[in-house]
Chain A
Amino acid sequence: MKEQLLSIRNLSVHYIKRDSVVRAVNNLSLELGEGETLGLVGETGAGKTTTAKSILRIVPNPPGRIVSGEITFRGSDVLAMSKLELRKLRGRDISMIFQDPMTSLNPVLTVGEQIAEVVRVHEKVGRQQATLHAQEMLELVGIPGSRYGDYPHQFSGGMKQRVVIAIALACSPKLLIADEPTTALDVTIQAQVLELMNDLKQRLGTSMLLITHDLGVVADACDKVAIIYAGEIVEYGTLEDVYEDTRHPYTRGLFDSIPSLDEDCERLKPIDGLMPDPAALPAGCVFHPRCPLCADACRELKPELIGLSESHWVRCPLVL
């Protein structure tokens, strides 16, 4: 068993608005070992990003609030950390790649300055050394170091995402949270960026939490997969568990909705219905309004995560 790096227990995050409470994340538990990659897969609004932000404690507050749960990173409780400890954690131990490289770089600073900044925040080095390190990082992600003094608008989308990756990896963090790192990029660039991330991850021994809604990306990069629906994990297991032995009706629906290259198909097969409004979650199983297997009990009883094997867990009693 690999050493535990990050463990999330029963995390609940709510966005408290004036007239409603949005339950973005409910009772979510995750574990991530040293050097592992976990894919967090779900639809838009399923609470993926909120989970990621909770790990860094950057959920915007107000209105967001971590209501309950425990986040342990290398043995220390993230939710109990002081501001100073958090600042040391962010960027040095855990860093994050944001979804949209177009907006996650500051337009008025050169990319080099932005990479050097992380280094200077966390390591006691002078300006020159930081500059040198930033140039090395640029080279590492495949951008010539001579572009140190260029501004973000002078880069293309894929290049910007490379810069963001360089910033995230500049201090060799233990854990990299990648929040849909390839969503804003086109397919060829997606492949390049993924390859780069995989490569660097292996070289630097970083663990990764990969947030995505693209099952193909997960298959490429991850060791473990967690399928998240309406703020809850509905299926959790190793890549083989989830892809070869798909159990939960939602996960099946996801796989079924991917068109196959071999068959001719007229229409896509989506899952009927929409994600429930997180401000008014249904009683019982959150997936029951859309579930093809829905039984009476599902409408009232909230299913627990049930272990099928050592590593494979599913939140549905009907598919055992």
Chain B
Amino acid sequence: MEQNGLLCPDGDETSFKKGSLFNETLLSLRQNRLAMLGMVILVMLILVAIFADVIAPYSIDDQQLSSRFQQPSQAHLFGTDNLGRDIFSRIVYGSRISLAIGASAATISALIGVLLGSIAGFYGGRVENLIMRFTDILMAIPSTLLAISIISALGPGLTNTIIAVSIGAVPGYVRVVRASILSVKEQEYIEAARSIGAEDGRIVCSHILPNCFAPILVQITLGVARAIQVAAALSFIGLGVLPPNPEWGSMLSAARPYIREHWHMVVFPGLAIMATIFGLNLFGDGLRDSLDPRLKT
């Protein structure tokens, strides 16, 4: 334990005396070029989503039937679709939907997962068995299939998409959280915390979970990417966010009949999905590399 970077930052002691874990992570993240690329993509995406009104030249359902199927040009950066809507504007606005789904689904599933995982890991015994077997069952079902079944029960729409995507992601969190709690709870400082009279809730929240923060954070970053991907897939088969909302998956789906003549209708939404997930995954992997002391050389 003593050698790893979490406990004793090597190098210049004075430069990062406060909040060493955070600073050190940032430092090693900065040296990782791919992770930085991921972060840049992510930040750009967030900025685009925030300033969508300023960036997009048209609104999402501005139809100009006279200018359908236009190739990319100065007037329409990414061209127009079968209803004469500006694809660039729709992709810009679509980033809001994708990020909203990704962020909220990851948050919801992380909350549920951390709660269940903590209970399972900390108390053990029958409760643990029950929770873990239940997650095993959930994991046995392919996540897309699970999302499809949930959404066909609940009906399509933004909220239901988020619910469906969240439920599918919960087992991953439960496992990660339980595993790290199991490894932390045997530490002597947990026993010490108990010996000062701290109650279970306090021990879990202020002693154990902060020590499990790294794997949970990584899981959340990668979870956002997965959520966006599954949501796009759902929209593609017409079960997710409903038109005319410019979800990237549903834009792809709408463009499918015209793929031979009008490549731009498919390529740009596809690129948007790809770039987003690529960026998030790069960032998540980089984060894991810098947070996990075992991967450090």
Contact = CB atoms under 8 A, between A and B. Distances in A.
Contact of B194 (A58, A103, A149): A58
A96 B191 CA distance: 10
B188 A108 contact: no
A201 interface: no
B192 A98 contact: yes
A150 interface: yes
Interface string B8-51: 11000100011011000000000000000000000000000000
Contact of B195 (A96, A102, A151): A96
B196 A91 contact: yes
A92 interface: yes
A151 B193 contact: no
B19 to A, nearest CB: 9
Contacts of B213: 108
A50 B196 CA distance: 17
B195 A56 contact: yes
Interface string A55-84: 010100000000000000000000000000
Contacts of A98: 188, 191-192, 195
Interface stretch (A15-23, A117-125, A204-212, A311-319): A117-125
Contacts of B1: 102-103
Band of interface residues on A = 20 to 34
Contacts of A118: 196-197
Contacts of B189: 103-107
Contacts of A117: 193, 196, 198, 202, 206
B197 A107 contact: no
Interface string B188-225: 11011111111100100011001101000000000000
A150 B191 CA distance: 22
A106 B18 contact: no
Nearest to A92: B197
B103 interface: no
A90 B194 contact: yes
B188 A107 contact: no
A167 interface: yes
A108 B21 contact: yes
Interface string A131-159: 00000000000000000011111100000
Contacts of A106: 189, 193, 207, 210-211
Interface of A: 56, 58, 86-92, 95-96, 98-100, 102-109, 117-118, 121-122, 149-154, 164, 167
8 contacts: A90-B195, A95-B196, A96-B192, A100-B188, A106-B189, A117-B198, A153-B7, A154-B13
Q: Which 3 A-B pairs have the closest CB atoms?
A: A91-B196, A91-B197, A90-B197
Given A106-B189, A108-B211, A121-B196, 19 more contacts: A56-B195, A58-B191, A86-B197, A87-B198, A88-B197, A90-B194, A91-B198, A102-B1, A104-B192, A106-B193, A107-B189, A107-B211, A109-B207, A117-B193, A117-B196, A118-B196, A122-B197, A153-B9, A153-B20
